[in-house]
Chain A
Amino acid sequence: MEQPAAAVAAAAPEEGRGEEAAAGWAWSWGAGTDGQLGNGGFDDYHLPQPLLLPIRCRGRVSLVAGGGAHAIALTSDGEVFTWGRGTHGQLGHGNLDSIAHPKSVKFLENHTVTCVSAGWNHSGFATDSGKLFMCGDGSFGQLGTGDNHCRNLPFEVAYFTTRHIEKLALGMRHSLVLLKDNSVYGFGSARRGQVGQCASRNEKSHNVPRLIAGFADFKIVNIYANGDHSAALDEYGHLYIWGRALIGEHDNDQPRAVLPSLSISQVALGWHHALVLSERELFIIGVYRHQKCDLPVPGNAAGQQPKTSAARSSHDVSSSMTTLQKVPHNDGEHVVQIASGTEHSALLTDRGSIFTWGWGEHGQLGLGDTSDQVVPQRVNIGVSPGSRSVYCGSGFTIAVGLV
């Protein structure tokens, strides 16, 4: 479904909405059939395309959150843009339309948003005053509103009215929030333990936020969610993981400290893998599930363990083989940022280079084809005047210049 370059160029001015089209500083590539590339089209693209954020946002984008098929961009002064699939109201524009260009979320105009996150079909926004707003699919209670309704405008989560939200992280069907008082709450699907311990086995979801206990007494600096996985990182670089098992078959409904010997600075979760960055070394826990067992395993294989259960179907063979692998290094460049989609990942180096690897069927690696890659490959997005950031949604990737 790759489009000729001319079609892309033609789309840019039209969707610029009166503002100068934003070529040359923000890009997107991969699955695009719901408009999640924000490039004015509804097709997949296998090479970086201009992402149509207004030019006034240039150098001001502080975070982009990629969901199932939508995305949220946050600027350094607290403005929020959304685009892509809107079927459940996840764009927060008061309707169910999908749009192929970033659009400012009017509802949040009078708030200064400081953190955003995107789940499969839901979105969350935290403000400088500590308020939490949610919209999109609520059928698993993932909006935390005490019901299972969808919302197409950001809706303040009343449970936290007297508390101060610092960060949020949304997974496929669940949500996590980190409060200023260092507590972590979860809501939404509880099927794999991703929102913590259930009072009974019959509880499949929670639409009222619940405290997740089990962390050591250190300050938690970040939380992460994707698929049915949850994670938190504390100030000393200790990583906690809970939810669906990344390795083997045993889900965890309590935060479990993993990799105690590493001091971890960044984490990125996929649906069957996690990336951890520790002192410039990049590791992967689990595997890209789409890859079949006959693919070679990258790097050293120090973490391999024998398959423990013989009774599972063939797709489990690969997932139970691998524990922790070092991701091969690239040309003396140091990794400074990591991101994961469902089955692909991206990294940014200290020289501003972007590398991608994993599943490539929709062009989400940005290498001009639909091949999978076992080791990180350099994406060619031309000369950048300054530093960049890279972000992933389920089947797509976004890069933004910071200058």
Chain B
Amino acid sequence: MSAYDEVEIEDMEWNAELKAYTYPCPCGDLFQITLEDLRLGEEIARCPSCSLFLTVVYNAEDFAEAKEPPQKPGPTPVAVA
């Protein structure tokens, strides 16, 4: 079984709720890899809903002592003029 795709960490999104970097999975769910995985040098992001997985490309040194990234602004109701 080979990886579905290869994705650079900068193309993944930090998901504070899942505490993981995520990337869209073709099934509709998200490939996920945790900060802890990255600290340990893991390079596979798995989808909890299916058999597919991604190879994550990143510089291990960048994550040796990495902290959680700041949260992005979430979805908010915006009134339309």
Residues of A that sit less than 8 Å from B by CB: 31, 33-34, 36, 68-69, 85, 87-89, 94-96, 107, 120, 137, 139, 148-156, 172, 191, 271, 289-290, 292-293, 313-315, 341-343, 359, 361-362, 393-396
CB of A139 within 8 A of CB of B49, answer: no
CB of A87 within 8 A of CB of B75, answer: yes
CB of A172 within 8 A of CB of B24, answer: yes
Q: Which residue of B lies closest to A70 (CB)?
A: B28
Residues of B that sit less than 8 Å from A by CB: 1-6, 11, 13, 24, 26-29, 49-52, 55, 72-80
CB of B75 within 8 A of CB of A313, answer: no
User: In this complex, which of B6, B26, B55, B74 has the most chain A Cβ atoms within 10 angstroms of its Cβ?
Assistant: B26
CB of B76 within 8 A of CB of A149, answer: yes
Given A150-B75, A151-B78, CB of A139 within 8 Å of CB of B13:
yes
Q: Is the interface of B mostly helix, strand, loop or mixed?
A: loop
Q: Which residue of A lies closest to B8 (CB)?
A: A191
Q: How far, in whole Å, are A335 and B28 apart by their CA atoms in the complex?
A: 27
Kindly list chain A residues whose C-beta atoms are within 8 Å of the C-beta of B74.
Answer: 150
Q: Which residue of B lies closest to A68 (CB)?
A: B28
Kindly list chain B residues whose C-beta atoms are within 8 Å of the C-beta of A191.
Answer: 11
Kindly list chain B residues whose C-beta atoms are within 8 Å of the C-beta of A289.
Answer: 4-5, 26
Kindly list chain B residues whose C-beta atoms are within 8 Å of the C-beta of A362.
Answer: 27-28, 49-50
Kindly list chain A residues whose C-beta atoms are within 8 Å of the C-beta of B76.
Answer: 149-150, 152
CB distance from B69 to the nearest CB of A (A): 13
Q: How far, in whole Å, are A69 and B4 apart by their CA atoms in the complex?
A: 19
One of B3, B27, B75 near A361 (C-beta < 8 A): B27
Kindly list chain A residues whose C-beta atoms are within 8 Å of the C-beta of B29.
Answer: 31, 33, 69
CB of B24 within 8 A of CB of A68, answer: yes
